[in-house]
Amino acid sequence: MANHSQFGFQDASSPIMEELVEFHDHALMVALAICSLVLYLLALMLMDKLSSNTVDAQEIELIWTILPAIVLIMLALPSLQILYMMDEINEPDLTLKAIGHQWYWTYEYTDFKDLTYDSYMIPTTDLPLGHFRLLEVDHRVVVPMESPIRIIVTANDVLHAWAVPALGVKTDAIPGRLNQTSFITTRPGIFYGQCSEICGANHSYMPIVVESTPLIHFEHWSSLMTS
């Protein structure tokens, strides 16, 4: 959950999000090195008089041609690795289908019989004390912790997007099309997200809440929901 005046990411709760945060920090260090070098060269040009030999040197031209290529490779390789990891769908322990509507979500647990429910935002007037305004729902998405989860995302009317920042998940919900992604929660907790595609007047009123629980608690919850 993000805090007020927070500049960084939310605490990573999945391996993919941990990789994204690490790549973000890596890219920032590269950008910091580039900015420091440029500022140093600008200060050097303003303070010192450069000779024509330095300006026309072939060694300098070779360096400022090869150096940017090396920097791009340093950014491209880890970026491609993370992209492939995000698209990789290993054998999931649970498959969940999320259907976007104006303006609520429908969830179907395809591995269970008749485990389907709608998830609406709780109005501010009915919100229990201590819960988050515009983020809490009446039915959360409950998943087992440390288990590969595949989520199939689609929409029933207009474009939506199923996004949970702490899990590093964002998938477009398109009518007539099935998109899929996967995630693994590394710790128990409650993770909040929202529809990330402008879908109409109440776009900001269809939050997503994922509750990660130990496997034994998930089995107990699923048995109650299907009984």
Q: How far apart are CA 120 and CA 134, in angstroms?
A: 10
What are the boundaries of each domain within the chain? 15-87, 94-225
The answer on pLDDT for 225 being more than 90 is no
Q: Which helix (H) or strand (E) holds 107?
A: strand 104-109
Percent of the chain predicted with pLDDT > 90 = 62
168-209: pLDDT as tens digits: 999 999 999 999 999 999 999 999 999 999 988 888 899 999
Query: What pLDDT, on a 0 to 100 scale, did the predictor assign at position 27?
Result: 93
Q: How far apart are CA 141 and CA 167, in angstroms?
A: 13
Q: How far apart are CA 33 and CA 30, in angstroms?
A: 5
105-127: pLDDT as tens digits: 999 999 998 899 999 999 989 99
The answer on pLDDT for 28 being more than 90 is yes
Query: What pLDDT, on a 0 to 100 scale, did the predictor assign at position 54?
Result: 53
CA atoms within 13 A on the CB side of 203: 11
Percent of the chain predicted with pLDDT > 70 = 96
122-154: pLDDT as tens digits: 998 999 888 899 999 999 999 999 999 999 999
**pTM exceeds cut of 0.85:** no
The answer on pLDDT for 13 being more than 60 is yes
The answer on pLDDT for 215 being more than 90 is yes
Say if domain 15-87 classifies as CATH 1.10.287.90: yes
The answer on pLDDT for 91 being more than 60 is yes
Query: What pLDDT, on a 0 to 100 scale, did the predictor assign at position 77?
Result: 92
Query: What pLDDT, on a 0 to 100 scale, did the predictor assign at position 120?
Result: 95
CA 74 centroid distance within chain: 22
List the structure tokens of 19: 């990789």
Q: Which among 171, 184, 113 has a CA at the least distance from the CA of 145?
A: 184
Burial pattern 87-125, b for ≥16 Cβ within 10 A else e, equals eeeeebebbbbbbbbbbbbbbbbeeeeeeeeebebbeee
The answer on pLDDT for 7 being more than 90 is no
List the structure tokens of 11: 């605490």
Cα torsion 16, 142, 186, 133: sign = positive
Architecture field, domain 94-225: Sandwich (2.60)
Q: Which among 209, 221, 202 has a CA at the least distance from the CA of 103?
A: 202
